[in-house]
Structures are given as structure tokens and as C-alpha cells.
């Protein structure tokens, strides 16, 4: 391969030094160096996150919001400080717009249950053909529960959202909510959120963006976008599992009924009736993921210490490099070629099933995902049953891409 292609990666502020922050990257798998190319499923964790969570448990842990003692008050402060941090991270207008959930899936379910419960039969929720099951199944459940209509906007053959079809789908004015991914976990496509939002608002619809993938790679500003709901998940943001975020405009949250009932989400409780706490606490029933939330704070601080300029430049260069390198592998076909895309590359190989690819890559220390990527309807649209998928993080190097491409070439030789 032309080594000069590596140059932009290094010019982009060389993130190579960040590898030292990720202890797991020093592990061996089947006696080989780990080459982790499955960050889109879940990213690895820097020592800053690991240490912060361990330190919290060692020195500063108690339940929050109710303890009257020093330790509980300090833990509450640390927990609530992350809400401020997330509000800044997403460009929210106020900290009260940040609701902590378990993950993006739960955040979307919260909206489907709570905001969705305000919708009337005949109103429409519109999703796209490239949604993760997390942004499809909750709306199907809402449809079956309430009689709303679920409408699907197609994608183009290169894997971009079909904007003309979107406009047509909005035309009858019955769409109450457009729920669309900000970046596809299969195709890598980055959707034109601004255009989608303008179009939807012009038709009187609110917009939920599933930012699970995008928020890892690009700066998000929900106010600049003009979005109504935005969801992200901590474990893809180099943070722990068990913590996700729903951002929504305050007036929407205030109009929505609670999702789960229990402690912490109430104002007063009697046997006859209960009243709800103010937002965002109305949506946070029970003891939350305290340590994980504090860990998410460490992850966001880590990301911001690197900066999205460097992260975006690294990823753009790496993605271009990988598309070039994979393009040279015999029989390999990249699935999804939209012009606006991030570092998630799905592919198939002639004569080799994606599961065989994944198992044989694993024997060489390379971790990729294979299967339908929680997007079965999209797989059917693409005419495949499964794909292999390589996805990149801030620690991914061009050398790892080279090793992937060379190993794929060898695997293909093995089967033909």
C-alpha cells in the first residue's frame, strides 16, 4: 500500500499516544496482539475511566440524593456534576434536559413510552430503513399499543437516507415524530440531521436522533441542530456500560408522563396518589448507575482532552485509508458507500461467509463483528443475510488496517 496515505493520519495530531491509555490494547488473543476493530459495538475503556470508577468505590461512594451525611453528599455532587458535563457535551440549553438512562435503547423506549403515549391513533412515527432495532422495535410496540402508524423512509442504493422520499412521507402532515439515526451502525452513513430536522419541523413533526454512533466521532450540539430528542450511550463513548443519556427539550420533558415509577422520581406519595418530581428526576426512578455515571464523566473529560477536531480528522483519514486498503482485497465488497460517512465499514467477501471471516480473523487477534448488526430489515433491503464489520476508535492505527486487509486476503485464499 502507498504509505503516503498514512500521512494525514499522523498530521491529524497523531492519536497514537492514546493507545497507552487503553490497558486492554496490550492484551494477547490466541497469542497475537489484540487488534480491536469492534468499537461500534462497544469501545474499550481508558485507564482514566477505569481508575475513576475504582477510586469512587474506594474512597467516595454512597447512595445519592437522600443521604444526609458527608459521603452521600459528595457522591451526589460527583453524580450531578456529570449532568452538567453531559449538558455541555451535547450543547443542551439546561442541565434539566439531561435524563440518565441505562443506554440508548432505554432512552428511546422512554420516549416511545412516555412521549409516544401522548400520540393519537392516526398520527405517524417515521423511521428509516437503516435503523438499529433499538430505534425500530420500541415504535412497533407503540404502534401495536396505541394504533399510531409507523412509516418507513427508504435509503438509496449507496446507503444514504432518501431525502425525496422523506419529504413525500412528511407531506400529509400526520407525522408527529421523525426518529432517525445520526450515523448508521451498519453502513457508517452520517445522516444530514440539519436537513432532516428542517424538513420535519416544516411539516410539524418533532425529531429524535439516535446519536449512539455519531456522538463518538463528531461534536454534537443539539441546539444548533434544532433537535427535539437526542440519545447517546456511555459504553460506545469509551465509558462504562449501564449508563446512557436522553436529551430532550425541557418543555417536552415537562409535558411527558413518567416512564418508570419508584423512589427518586416522586414529589409526594400517599396511598391514594403520588405527584412527580421535577425534570429530569421525574424520569429517573430508583437508585441509578452511580459509579457508571461518574465513569461516564471521566470518559467525556477524556474525549474532550483530545478534542473532536483531532478525533474527526483521525477518523476521516483512517476511514479513507481503510476503504482504499479493503478495496484491494479480492472479492471484497463494501456495503454502504454514502459520501458522508464515519469509521464503520461493513463488507462481504465472495465465497466466504461473514461468520467464517470473523472466526478466522479472531484466530489472528483481530476482533470484528459479523452478523446482522441488530438491523435485520436493513440486511434484507441490502439483499444480504449478514456482513462482517470493522469499526474504528481513537486508538485504531493504519497498521491495524493493513493487517486486517492482509489477513482478509489470506482468508479468501483459504476458501477459493
Three cell numbers written together for 103: 443506554
Residues in region 153-192 near other proteins by CB under 8 A: none
Which residue in the set 16, 74, 201, 353 belongs to the binding site for other proteins (CB under 8 A)?
A: 353
| Contact window for other proteins (CB under 8 A) among 40-48, 54-62, 89-97, 365-373 | 365-373
- Is-contact 412 351, C-beta < 8 A? yes
- Is-contact 389 60, C-beta < 8 A? no
Q: Is 42 helix (H, G, I), strand (E, B) or coil?
A: coil
Q: Could you tell me which residues come within 8 angstroms of residue 230 by beta carbon, excluding any fewer than 6 positions away?
A: 90, 182, 208, 209, 211, 220, 222, 246, 247, 248
| Contact window for other proteins (CB under 8 A) among 112-120, 139-147, 210-218, 378-386 | 378-386
Closest distance to other proteins from the beta carbon of 189 (Å): 22
Which residue in the set 96, 264, 356, 402 belongs to the binding site for other proteins (CB under 8 A)?
A: 356
**Catalytic annotation present for 374:** yes
Q: Is 158 helix (H, G, I), strand (E, B) or coil?
A: coil
Closest distance to other proteins from the beta carbon of 212 (Å): 20
Which residue in the set 183, 214, 379, 401 belongs to the binding site for other proteins (CB under 8 A)?
A: 379
Site string for other proteins, 313-352 (x = CB under 8 A): ---------------------------------------x
Nearer to other proteins, 305 or 359 (CB): 359
Closest distance to other proteins from the beta carbon of 388 (Å): 11
DSSP letter (8 states) at residue 62: -
Residues in region 17-56 near other proteins by CB under 8 A: 30-32
- Is-contact 318 344, C-beta < 8 A? no
Phi, psi of 14 (to 5 degrees): 25, 105
Total residues in contact with other proteins, by rule CB under 8 A: 23
Closest distance to other proteins from the beta carbon of 201 (Å): 38
Which residue in the set 52, 386, 401, 405 belongs to the binding site for other proteins (CB under 8 A)?
A: 386
Residues in region 394-413 near other proteins by CB under 8 A: 407, 410-411
Which residue in the set 55, 307, 327, 414 belongs to the binding site for other proteins (CB under 8 A)?
A: 414
CA 396 to chain centre: 18
Count CB-CB contacts under 10 A for residue 394.
25
Which residue in the set 188, 280, 343, 354 belongs to the binding site for other proteins (CB under 8 A)?
A: 354
Which member of 329, 374, 401, 405 is catalytic? 374
| Contact window for other proteins (CB under 8 A) among 143-151, 234-242, 289-297, 355-363 | 355-363
Sheet containing 369-371: give its strands across. Answer: 332-335, 344-349, 387-391, 369-371
Nearer to other proteins, 30 or 58 (CB): 30
Q: Does 385 engage in binding with other proteins (CB under 8 A)?
A: yes
Q: Does 377 engage in binding with other proteins (CB under 8 A)?
A: no
- Locate all alpha helices (DSSP H) within 156-269, ordered by sequence: 163-170, 193-202, 214-217, 222-225, 250-255
Closest distance to other proteins from the beta carbon of 108 (Å): 22
Q: How far apart are CA 304 and CA 300, in angstroms?
A: 6
Nearer to other proteins, 154 or 371 (CB): 371
- Locate all alpha helices (DSSP H) within 60-136, ordered by sequence: 70-90, 104-114
Longest dimension (CA), the chain: 73
Three cell numbers written together for 273: 396518589
Pairing type for strands 124-128 and 175-181 reads parallel
> Residue 338's closest CA among 224, 238, 191?
191
Polymer length of the chain: 416
Closest distance to other proteins from the beta carbon of 36 (Å): 17
- Is-contact 366 397, C-beta < 8 A? no
Nearer to other proteins, 87 or 411 (CB): 411
Nearer to other proteins, 175 or 366 (CB): 366
Pairing type for strands 229-233 and 206-210 reads parallel
Nearer to other proteins, 211 or 354 (CB): 354
Q: How far apart are CA 401 and CA 339, in angstroms?
A: 21
Which residue in the set 156, 359, 382, 383 belongs to the binding site for other proteins (CB under 8 A)?
A: 359
Q: Does 363 engage in binding with other proteins (CB under 8 A)?
A: yes
Binding site for other proteins (CB under 8 A): 30-32, 352-356, 359-360, 363-364, 370-372, 379, 385-386, 407, 410-411, 414-415
User: What residues are annotated to the active site?
Assistant: 374
Amino acid at each position: 500500500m502507498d504509505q503516503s496515505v498514512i500521512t494525514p493520519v499522523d498530521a491529524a495530531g497523531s492519536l497514537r499516544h492514546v493507545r497507552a491509555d487503553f490497558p486492554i490494547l496490550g492484551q494477547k488473543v490466541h497469542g497475537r496482539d489484540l487488534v480491536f476493530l469492534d468499537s461500534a459495538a462497544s469501545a474499550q475503556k481508558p485507564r482514566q475511566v477505569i481508575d475513576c470508577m475504582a477510586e469512587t468505590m474506594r474512597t467516595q461512594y454512597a447512595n445519592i440524593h437522600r443521604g444526609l451525611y458527608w459521603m452521600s453528599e459528595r457522591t451526589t455532587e460527583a453524580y450531578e456534576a456529570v449532568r452538567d458535563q453531559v449538558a455541555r457535551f451535547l450543547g443542551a440549553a439546561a442541565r434539566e434536559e439531561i435524563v440518565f438512562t441505562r443506554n440508548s435503547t432505554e432512552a428511546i423506549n422512554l420516549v416511545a413510552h412516555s412521549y409516544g403515549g401522548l400520540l393519537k391513533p392516526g398520527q405517524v412515527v417515521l423511521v428509516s430503513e437503516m435503523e438499529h432495532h433499538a430505534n425500530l422495535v420500541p415504535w412497533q410496540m407503540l404502534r401495536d399499543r396505541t394504533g399510531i402508524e409507523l412509516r418507513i423512509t427508504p435509503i438509496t442504493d449507496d446507503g444514504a437516507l432518501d431525502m425525496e422520499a422523506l419529504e413525500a412521507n412528511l407531506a400529509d402532515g400526520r407525522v408527529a415524530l421523525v426518529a432517525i439515526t445520526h450515523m448508521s451502525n451498519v453502513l457508517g452513513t452520517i445522516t444530514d440531521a440539519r436537513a432532516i430536522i428542517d424538513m420535519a419541523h416544516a411539516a410539524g413533526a418533532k425529531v429524535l436522533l439516535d446519536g449512539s454512533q455519531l456522538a463518538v466521532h463528531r461534536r454534537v450540539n443539539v441546539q444548533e441542530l434544532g433537535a427535539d430528542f437526542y440519545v447517546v450511550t456511555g459504553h460506545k463513548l469509551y465509558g462504562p456500560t449501564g449508563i446512557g443519556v436522553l436529551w430532550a427539550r425541557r418543555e417536552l420533558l415537562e409535558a411527558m408522563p413518567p416512564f418508570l415509577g419508584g423512589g427518586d422520581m416522586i414529589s409526594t406519595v400517599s396511598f391514594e396518589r403520588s405527584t412527580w418530581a421535577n425534570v429530569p428526576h421525574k424520569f429517573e426512578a430508583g437508585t441509578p448507575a452511580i459509579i457508571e455515571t461518574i465513569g461516564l464523566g471521566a470518559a467525556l473529560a477524556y474525549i474532550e482532552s483530545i478534542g473532536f477536531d483531532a478525533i474527526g480528522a483521525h477518523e476521516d483519514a483512517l476511514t479513507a485509508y481503510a476503504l482504499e486498503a479493503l478495496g484491494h482485497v479480492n472479492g471484497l465488497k463494501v456495503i454502504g458507500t454514502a459520501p458522508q460517512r464515519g469509521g464503520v465499514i461493513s463488507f462481504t467477501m465472495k465465497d466466504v461467509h461473514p461468520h467464517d471471516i470473523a472466526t478466522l480473523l479472531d484466530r489472528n487477534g483481530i476482533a470484528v463483528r459479523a452478523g446482522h448488526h441488530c438491523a435485520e430489515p436493513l440486511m434484507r433491503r441490502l439483499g444480504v443475510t449478514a456482513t462482517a464489520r470493522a469499526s474504528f476508535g481513537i486508538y485504531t492505527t493504519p497498521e491495524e488496517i493493513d493487517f486486517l486487509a492482509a489477513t482478509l486476503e489470506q482468508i479468501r485464499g483459504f476458501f477459493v
